[in-house]
Amino acid sequence: MTDEARGRERGGGPRRRFTLEAGVIAGVVALDQATKLLVRAEVPLHGSVPVIPDLLNIVHVRNTGAAFGFLNAVDFPYKAAVVALVATAALMGIALYAARMSSHERLARIGLALILGGAVGNLIDRLALGSVVDFVDVVLGGWHFWAFNVADAAITLGVLAMMIDMIGLDRHVSTTS
């Protein structure tokens, strides 16, 4: 039986195939934008609020570069537009790849939905603010990891899900022949 026939049998169809993924994307974008709005409203730019002393702070920083602050210290004409354009191209490539995935590749599809949700969340910031709001500051032994946000966490979890899918840890292997 084909995936489409199974979907119809359960009361769905080809359009229901991406319902879960669309929900994940929307949820990530909504949570990301809500937390960034709260940080912008409550924490002054470059401010810090300790949550767990010497471990976790809420900060308000802006990333004008790419992932993990890459190109953050570099300034060139139309930097915000160039970074947003590159992010948009990457987002479109990921969306095209996701649309071609088989419906039985559930973990990979959820991983891509997390990546897409995070990419959209950060792209909204780039287009609206010219930079991305980062606010989670993890401190380990006095070393501060790069500040990040919900979108970055979703992208990281999405990549992890994709890696688990690629190496097959999510598949049950039968030991009987």
What is the set of active-site residues?
134, 152
**Sign of the alpha-carbon dihedral angle for 21, 23, 26, 31:** negative
Residue ranges of E strands in the chain: 48-52, 56-63, 132-140, 143-144
Amino acid identity, position 153: A
CB 57 within 8 A of CB 139: yes
In b/e form, how buried is each residue of 144-163, taking b as 16+ CB within 10 angstroms?
eebbbbbbbbbbebbeebbe
